[in-house]
């Protein structure tokens, strides 16, 4: 007796998802046919398969890149809880792979790496790093405003509770950084990788420092400078288009330094150079706060990475041990380390909510593929933080002054300090409104 198309599809999917242990989910094909995972239950999400090519890809050669690119093209979609679909993706990615598949994937990675070398230079050269930053960050600033919030801060926020809004949590993060650095009026403060200027504006407005920021993104530098001017703070703030390596010969220029969400672009081979430059920029007794995502020491490393190819080309996550070891090797002393892993999951969930809530307006600013890339990357990152594959650490480092740290004996002042008042939109130079290009 011939097997019906429906029975053949059922057998096909049962084979693919044999041994699946995640939450119940469903699959809906392009012709309306549906399938539900086992054990039965209300599916938390439904994977929408747009064509037969996408269905075949689930079984024949799934990896982060093929699945991610299928989502970006619209061949795959998700209804319901987008965060739960990564349990489904994890099952597909962890299925045994044939030797032929492994060799094909390695060959593809080699071709991509060679192409990037020819176009932009060696990995983590200044030219290639600038190209990578521009690729990710040089979207119109109006794309970011609706979901980043009024601070325009694109890094892990700091939550006092699950009910905190993204604006409140980001203000709390900015002030926590300033409190950890113990910024004082009149001090010279540098933000390496200043984004759109949120931290330097906050530090100058609430802590009275002279704040400088550098970034490799022309759009960010221009936006930050415009926000500084709008806030009437050109006498206390500046943002420049510069590479941190261009500062190597400027010695002892700053009392305090922060780097928030930039470290991921440094690269393993440049870790010691990065910390050597930061130490050289600090006066003796100065303090450096490095806020960075780190790879878990026991987390699996995927050679085929959607984020590395489509989101952060050239980005590289090191472990906390590697980062701390490099810092100490360059004469910096570790004073405190705080893991904000749960905070970044909450941050990403807020951002995904904002992306979905503003989808129609955002699609008037960027192509659908760009929007879907950001949505997938943020939802997938939230799932990785929840699993513990990655974390984000605030590491406080000092340059001792002949053995003296010039720091208090306890951390009590970090949390006893009165929270800063929220700045007005005029101070931050941004609003939640979308401004057409």
Residues 6 or more apart whose Cβ sits within 8 Å of residue 5: none
Rounded to two decimals, the pTM is 0.84
From 93, 123, 147, give the residue that closes a domain. 93
**Number of compact structural domains in the chain:** 2
Query: Phi and psi of 305, rounded to 5°?
Result: -120, 125
Domain membership flag for residue 437: no
Q: Are 65 and 163 in the same domain?
A: no
Residues 6 or more apart whose Cβ sits within 8 Å of residue 366: 139, 140, 143
How many Å is the Cα radius of gyration of the chain? 23
Q: Are 173 and 83 in the same domain?
A: no
Cα–Cα distance measured from residue 430 to residue 227, given in angstroms and rounded to the nearest whole number? 7
Q: Are 308 and 169 in the same domain?
A: yes
Domain membership flag for residue 39: yes
Cα–Cα distance measured from residue 39 to residue 57, given in angstroms and rounded to the nearest whole number? 24
Cα–Cα distance measured from residue 282 to residue 190, given in angstroms and rounded to the nearest whole number? 10
Domain membership flag for residue 344: yes
Q: Are 82 and 153 in the same domain?
A: no
Domain membership flag for residue 113: no
Nearest to 342 by CA among 396, 382, 292: 382
Nearest to 263 by CA among 272, 274, 250: 274
Residues 6 or more apart whose Cβ sits within 8 Å of residue 32: none
Per-residue tokens: 154:
């694109």
Q: Digits of tens for pLDDT over the chain (437 positions)?
A: 567 878 888 888 888 888 888 899 999 999 999 999 876 668 899 999 999 888 887 777 678 888 898 999 999 999 999 999 999 998 988 865 543 444 344 443 444 444 444 444 444 455 544 444 444 556 889 999 999 999 999 999 999 999 999 999 999 999 999 999 999 999 999 999 999 999 999 999 999 999 999 999 999 999 999 999 999 999 999 999 999 999 988 899 999 999 999 999 898 899 999 999 999 999 999 999 999 999 999 887 766 778 777 787 767 899 999 999 999 999 999 999 999 999 999 999 999 999 999 999 999 999 898 999 999 999 999 999 999 999 999 999 999 999 998 899 999 998 875 544 444 444 444 433 333 32
Q: Are 89 and 142 in the same domain?
A: no
Q: Are 88 and 146 in the same domain?
A: no
Q: Are 139 and 21 in the same domain?
A: no
Domain membership flag for residue 343: yes
Contact 306, 380 (CB under 8 A): yes
3-state secondary structure of 394: strand
Q: How do residues 27-49 score in pLDDT, each as one tens digit?
A: 999 999 999 987 666 889 999 99
Q: Are 149 and 259 in the same domain?
A: yes
Q: Are 70 and 155 in the same domain?
A: no
Domain membership flag for residue 215: yes
Q: Are 314 and 231 in the same domain?
A: yes
Cα–Cα distance measured from residue 416 to residue 11, given in angstroms and rounded to the nearest whole number? 62
What range does the domain containing 84 cover?
5-93
E strand or H helix that includes residue 359: helix 359-362
Contact 194, 224 (CB under 8 A): yes
From 59, 93, 127, give the residue that closes a domain. 93
Nearest to 288 by CA among 259, 252, 263, 261: 259
Query: Phi and psi of 390, rounded to 5°?
Result: -135, 160
Q: How do residues 79-126 score in pLDDT, each as one tens digit?
A: 999 999 999 998 988 865 543 444 344 443 444 444 444 444 444 455
Domain membership flag for residue 304: yes
Q: Are 159 and 218 in the same domain?
A: yes
CATH of the domain at 391: 3.40.50.150
3-state secondary structure of 97: coil
Q: Are 196 and 53 in the same domain?
A: no
User: Alpha helix locations (H) across 389-435?
Assistant: 412-416, 425-428
How many CB atoms lie under 10 A from the CB of residue 80? Answer: 15
Domain membership flag for residue 37: yes
Q: Cα 272 to chain center, whole Å?
A: 22
CATH of the domain at 49: 3.30.1050.10
Cα–Cα distance measured from residue 221 to residue 432, given in angstroms and rounded to the nearest whole number? 20
């Amino acid at each position: 007796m011939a097997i019906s198309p429906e029975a053949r599809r059922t057998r096909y999917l049962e084979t693919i998802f044999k041994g699946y242990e995640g939450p119940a989910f469903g699959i809906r094909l392009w012709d309306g046919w549906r399938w539900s995972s086992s054990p039965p239950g209300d599916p938390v999400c439904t994977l929408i398969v747009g064509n037969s090519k996408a269905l075949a890809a689930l079984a024949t050669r799934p990896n982060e890149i093929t699945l991610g690119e299928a989502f970006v093209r619209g061949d795959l979609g998700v209804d319901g809880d987008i965060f739960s679909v990564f349990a489904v993706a994890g099952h597909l990615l962890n299925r045994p792979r044939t030797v032929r598949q492994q060799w094909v994937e390695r060959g593809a990675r080699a071709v991509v790496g060679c192409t990037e070398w020819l176009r932009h230079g060696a990995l983590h050269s200044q030219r290639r790093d600038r190209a990578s930053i521009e690729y990710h960050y040089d979207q119109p600033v109006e794309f970011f405003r609706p979901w980043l919030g009024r601070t325009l801060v694109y890094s892990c926020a700091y939550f006092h509770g699950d009910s905190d809004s993204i604006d409140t949590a980001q203000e709390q993060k900015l002030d926590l950084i300033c409190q950890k650095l113990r910024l004082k009026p009149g001090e010279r403060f540098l933000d390496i990788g200043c984004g759109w200027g949120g931290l330097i504006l906050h530090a100058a407005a609430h802590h009275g420092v002279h704040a400088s920021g550098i970034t490799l993104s022309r759009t960010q530098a221009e936006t930050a400078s415009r926000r500084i001017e709008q806030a009437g703070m050109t006498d206390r703030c500046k943002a420049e288009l510069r590479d941190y390596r261009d500062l190597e010969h400027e010695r002892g220029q700053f009392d305090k330094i922060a780097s928030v969400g930039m470290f991921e672009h440094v690269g393993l081979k440049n870790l010691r150079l990065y910390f050597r430059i930061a130490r050289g920029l600090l006066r003796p007794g100065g303090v450096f706060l490095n806020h960075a995502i780190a790879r878990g020491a026991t987390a699996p490393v995927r050679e085929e990475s959607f984020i590395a190819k489509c989101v952060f080309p050239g980005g590289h996550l090191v472990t906390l041990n590697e980062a701390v070891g490099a810092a100490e090797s360059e004469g910096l002393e570790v004073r405190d380390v705080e893991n904000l892993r749960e905070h970044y999951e909450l941050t990403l969930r807020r951002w995904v909510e904002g992306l979905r809530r503003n989808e129609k307006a955002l699609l008037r600013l960027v192509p659908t593929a760009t929007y879907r890339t950001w949505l997938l990357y943020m939802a997938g990152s939230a799932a990785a933080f929840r699993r513990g594959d990655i974390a984000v650490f605030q590491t406080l480092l000092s340059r001792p002054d002949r053995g003296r740290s010039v720091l208090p004996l306890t951390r009590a002042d970090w949390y006893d300090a009165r929270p800063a008042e929220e700045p007005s939109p005029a101070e931050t130079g941004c609003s939640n409104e979308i401004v057409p290009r």
